[in-house]
Amino acid sequence: MVIAANTVDTLITTYLEMTSRADFAPAFVRAIDIEIVKMEMPDLGFYKFLYQSVGEEWAWRDRLQLSNSELRRILSSSNTQVHVMYVSGSPGGYVELYRHEDGSVEIAYFGLRRNYMGRGLGKHLLSFGVDRAWAMGANRVWLHTCNLDGPHALANYQKRGFRIYDVIEEPMPEIYR
């Protein structure tokens, strides 16, 4: 089920965290045609392609509001990592990690392109992202999802070991209408 952004009046944002690597329940897919590659050099055109092709259906707008220089600054930061999942050589999705000053690592963006959904690739990519976050020295891994995201997002996060620590309801911001 896809929730059309302009038909929802309330934005419900759910914050989840994992405070111990021992809580992590990875679920990797065994397939020879999957490769996840770190984007070593910011490529704004490719990043925007990924952001739009993953997030357009879910009303992702935030990064499209940034100037190229601001987006380049974020992607060039030593605190940011973007990992792209390729399936049979084509980009299927990505996970973006951000290390905060408090030692936590946020899964800032995560998702698959439409044609790659329903094949277990989401749990694979999320597992990769969580593993990388812990490898970055995280003292806590966290993320948020909302009622505009994919219908299986929250369940995937919880199955990987994330626990809800806050839920915020607010009128739907105009940017998502």
The token pair at 37 is 């590659």
pLDDT at 175: 81
Task: Please state, in angstroms and rounded to a whole number, the distance separating the CA atoms of residues 58 and 49.
Answer: 15
**pLDDT (tens digit per residue) in 113-168:** 999 999 999 999 999 999 999 999 999 999 999 998 888 899 999 999 999 999 99
Residue bearing tokens 């009128």:
171
Rounded distance between C-alpha atoms, residue 75 and residue 43, angstroms: 9
Give the single-character DSSP code of 173. P
Helix (H) or strand (E) holding 78: none
Q: Could you give the CA distance from residue 130 to residue 11 in angstroms, rounded to a whole number?
A: 25
The torsion angles phi and psi of 40, rounded to 5 degrees, stand at -80, -30
Domain 5-176 is in which class? alpha beta
Say if residues 132 and 84 touch (Cβ distance below 8 Å): no
The verdict on pTM exceeding 0.85 is: yes
| 39-48: pLDDT as tens digits | 999 899 999 9
Task: Give 172's DSSP letter.
Answer: P
Determine the average pLDDT of the residues in 59-74: 94
CA distance 53 to 61: 12
User: What token pair was written down for 43?
Assistant: 């490529």
d(CA 70, CA 86): 27
Its sign, for the CA torsion 116, 149, 84, 155, is negative
Per-domain boundaries in the chain: 5-176
